[in-house]
Amino acid sequence: MPLMKSWLDSANNPDCPFPLNNLPYGVFSRPGASPRCGVAIGDMILDVTAMEKAGLIRLADKPVLDRPEWNAVMALGPDAWTRLRKLLFGFLADGSAMRSEAERHMVPMAGVQMHLPFAVAEFTDFYAGKNHAQNVGEMFRGAENALPPNWLHIPIGYNGRASSVIVSGTDFRRPWGQIKGPQDEAPRFAPSQRFDLELELGAIVGQPAPYGQPVSVAEADAMIFGYVLLNDWSARDIQAWEYQPLGPFQSKATATTISPWIITRDALEPFRCAGPERVQPLLDYLQEPGPMFYNIEMEVELTPKGGQPTVITRTNYREMYYSSAQQLAHHSTAGSGMRVGDLLGSGTISGAEKDSRGCLLELTWGGKEPVTLTDGQTRTFIQDHDRITLRGQCRGDGYMLGFGDCAGTVLPALDRPFRR
């Protein structure tokens, strides 16, 4: 699909992440004003909360854009999602007769504050990248036993904390936790020293799966409203002590950073691609009815305090082994139901080459092979005041479709973690 022209010149720049082809959804606020729903276009934001109030957008019998979240729009279903996208095209396309109405509700992107774009109902993180699982398994169990026996048959995941999800630009403190090194006789309570990033894609569930009703992969795909970049920060030393036998717990509960713009499934349609060749046949309920992956170029940048940024990895979402639709379908099989606003983390996205690995644990091979930054500093894991930025983009014919930065800075741990 070629670039769709807008009357807004900045949206037609081939290097702009928010052309008319994209139209991602977010929540923003100007100084002194309350958060509201907006749509990114070029270097501007279309205030759709104000447009609904003015009667220019009507999706239901009652307002759905009058709150600082997109959940009410999600709940309307795919037909309403498509209708809204067509309405926005009508306001923003080159030659639009509605240009003047849209111009009155445009806000410069520069200077606004971004907020979580939706209310997170629940959060589940998966372990669905084969290269990542192979590398981590090899580090801890050896090459012959790297993948657990179930890995090639089932998308492995764990239920995380929805309260840990924060929007890009929100800084947080290094966590405390129980740590026990291989030579220690007993655990100690201390700040994590092996704090890590995880490059992931987050899928947002826009339609519910009723209690007791599993969904197919095709149905799951249609239930996904859109996607965000996701950094599932990980305290590796806390995790090493706690994860047996039930998996991650406190090591994953510090923060989960997401990018502020929801890239809709409709916008990503031109970038669908097939998944990997299966090592083992999947059970019928996990079979894909068609391409379920996307060609999304991704990178991670590390910037030390007062230092220069360094891109430490580049990879692509198509490297994953299980798609978000497969993960959602599998999630539904136990019958617990899925909610509007559920968030599914893809798992760490790593390529086959060393410079395409999606976390420092892999990049430094457990801390044994430090990464060298632009200014000569080295890293095995994240140090205090390091800023980590995730980026993702799809390249079309004369345009780029971007996600917006997913960034956060790790601040020093509290001197005293308890008030008393």
Beta bridge partners of 232: 256
| DSSP summary character for residue 150 | T
What is the C-alpha to C-alpha distance for residues 329 and 215, in angstroms, rounded to an integer? 5
131 phi and psi angles, rounded to 5 deg: -60, -45
Task: Go through 202-234 and write b for each residue having 16 or more CB atoms within 10 A of its CB, e for each that does not.
Answer: bbbbbbbbeeeebbbbebbbebbbbbbbbbbbb
Containing 411, the helix (H) or strand (E) segment is strand 406-411
Which residues contact residue 28 at a Cβ distance below 8 angstroms, ignoring those fewer than 6 apart?
Answer: 35, 36, 38, 45, 107, 112, 113, 114, 115
C-beta of residue 359 within 8 angstroms of C-beta of residue 199: yes
Helix (H, G, I), strand (E, B) or coil at 292: coil
* Residue for token pair 């691609």: 273
Q: Which residues are catalytic?
A: 132
**Listed residue (187, 25, 238) closest to 118, CA to CA:** 25
Residue 10: exposure state from Cβ atoms within 10 A (0-12, 13-18, ≥19): middle
C-beta of residue 38 within 8 angstroms of C-beta of residue 114: no
Which residues contact residue 329 at a Cβ distance below 8 angstroms, ignoring those fewer than 6 apart?
Answer: 214, 215, 216, 217, 219, 220, 285, 286
Alpha helices in 111-210 (DSSP H): 130-141
* Residue 245, preceding peptide bond in cis (omega within 30° of 0): yes
CA angle 141, 241, 200 (to 5 degrees): 70
What is the C-alpha to C-alpha distance for residues 73 and 64, in angstroms, rounded to an integer? 6
